[in-house]
Structure 1
Amino acid sequence: MIDPVRLGRHLHDLRSGRGLALSALAEAAGVSVSMLSAIERGEKTPTVVVLSRIADGLGLSLSRLLADLESDRVIVRRAAEQDHIAEPGGWHRTVLTPVVPGVNFEWIRTTLPAGCDAGVFPAYAPGSHEFVAVESGELRLGVGDAEYVLAAGDSVYFPADATHSYANRGQEPCVYFVAALIMRPRAKSG
């Protein structure tokens, strides 16, 4: 398991060794200064996607960034360590997976309240994949120009190199899981 304090010190040393200010690396990585600062202080454990963005910002591969930080081959992420993210619009994500060096995989549990639209997400790099399984409620999944209505128990796979969206137009909350294999971070817009 990667110790967040050790990871934070390592990131700080890499950034400082390159003469980068916190704001410069945050901009190059496409993450907020506050997020990067919390990671460097060991207060926040980043997701695989965020770590991959930081590695890109430092000009490193993710596996090189995390070299020598892994102290165990079995990584347990306790419920109390999971990232719980309250999103604008009232929806909520919980990142269930631990960070594993060299593995760009995330498993996320999402709850969309009734009538909530989580919005459109940009395409990931070619070779990226998403699997979605609905636990309860009804999910409207958009992939490119197509829309799929999924009920409790339904699951779907799609190549994640297309724009995609998630919405709950029903009267009950929708809970679903996303298993994502991301080949590299999304391209920065602009």
Structure 2
Amino acid sequence: MSNIVDPLVRQIAIRVRAERERRRWTLAQLADASGVSQAMISRIERGESSPTAVVLGKLSAAFRLSVASLLALTEAEAEAEAAREDPGGAAGTGVRRRAEVPEWRDPGTGYRRRQITGPHFPAEVAEIRLPAGAHVPYPAAAFAFVRQIVWVLDGHLTFHDGDTVHELDAGDTVELGEPEERAFANTTDTECRYAVVLTRGTRP
């Protein structure tokens, strides 16, 4: 178990608990809905364990949110916290410096995610770096209420869309349809970098 000091990971703990309490769910109810153990959820909410991308996918599916939406909400809160600590920063100018944008790292695969757009932009754009050999599956419910495009920027992505497998190279895109079980895989020996562009529909 890691010693969590990263403000983004701390905000994940706050966000997961807030989403659970907004639905008036107990830990046991969220565990039943997500398939994540009650003990693990408790550790995440207390900031004692950093969830993997797979665990976040299961929790997001239970909340009927995409992982991108859950992390975007979290990143907005982390940036707001940083702005409070540094009121002289560039917040509100429309400029988001690379060094000021929090990056989330999956402790299981090394997958890294950086939010490109700010919290008030009408679409969500994120940059993902998927290490060689990484495989990140998500349940279908994690894709509910969103329209999403995956755009490969560098490297090669093997994208599982339900029963269909797409082999995508730099410059290729895939527009996602109805929710399906999906997985992002890098079967090469070099990093894959891709962007996720997402718009939300009705939030549950």
What is the TM-score of this pair, normalised by structure 1?
0.57
Instruction: Indicate how the Cα distance of structure 1 residues 52 and 82 shifts in structure 2: closer, same or farther if over 3 A, else same.
Output: closer
Q: Of 156, 180, 190, which residue of structure 2 is paired with 1:172?
A: 190
CA deviation vs aligned residue, 1:35-67 (integer Å, no higher than 9, x gap): 7xxxxxxxxxxx98249989xxxxxxxxxxxxx
- Give the C-alpha shift of residue 100 in structure 1: 1.1
- Secondary structure at the counterpart of residue 142 of structure 1: strand
- Partners of 2:73 and 2:119 within 8 A in 1: no
Distance of aligned partners of 1:50 and 1:174 in 2 relative to their CA distance in 1, 3 Å threshold: closer
> Aligned pair 1:86/2:79, yes or no?
no
2: CA distance, partners of 1:117 / 1:96: 23
Contact 2:72 2:115 in 1 (8 A): no
Please give the root-mean-square deviation of Cα atoms over the aligned residues, in Å: 3.5
Q: Tell me if the contact between 1:129 and 1:182 (Cα under 8 Å) persists in the aligned partners.
A: yes
Structure 1 residues 18-37: aligned runs within 5 Å: 25=18, 27-29=20-22, 33=45
1:116-170: per-residue Cα shift (whole Å, max 9, x none)? 11222433224x2111111111101111211100011211111252222100011
Count of residue pairs brought into register by the alignment = 134
Aligned partner of 1:157: which letter?
A: E
Unaligned 5+ runs, structure 1: 1-21, 36-46, 55-70
The one-letter code matched in structure 1 to 2:190 is E
Give secondary structure in 2 for the equivalent of 1:80. helix
- Indicate how the Cα distance of structure 1 residues 48 and 150 shifts in structure 2: closer, same or farther if over 3 A, else same: closer
Unaligned residue ranges in structure 2 (runs of 5+): 1-14, 23-29, 31-40, 48-66, 75-90
- For residues 47-62 of structure 1, what are the structure 2 equivalents within 5 Å? 49-50=69-70
Question: Residue 166 of structure 1: SS of its match in structure 2?
Answer: strand
- TM-score, length basis structure 2: 0.53
- 99, 110, 114: which is aligned to 2:119? 99
Larger Rg: 1
Q: Where does 1:67-146 land on structure 2 (aligned, <5 Å)?
A: 75-87=94-106, 88-100=108-120, 103=122, 105-123=123-141, 124-126=143-145, 128-146=146-164
Partners of 1:52 and 1:184 within 8 A in 2? no
Q: Partner amino acid for 1:27?
A: R
Per the TM alignment, residue 184 of structure 1 is displaced from its structure 2 partner at its CA by: 4.8
**2:120 alignment partner AA:** V
- 1:97 counterpart letter in structure 2: T
The equivalent residue for 2:166 is 148
Write 1 or 2 for the structure with the bigger share of helix.
2
Q: Which amino acid aligns with 1:144?
A: G
Shift of residue 176, structure 1, vs aligned partner: 0.7
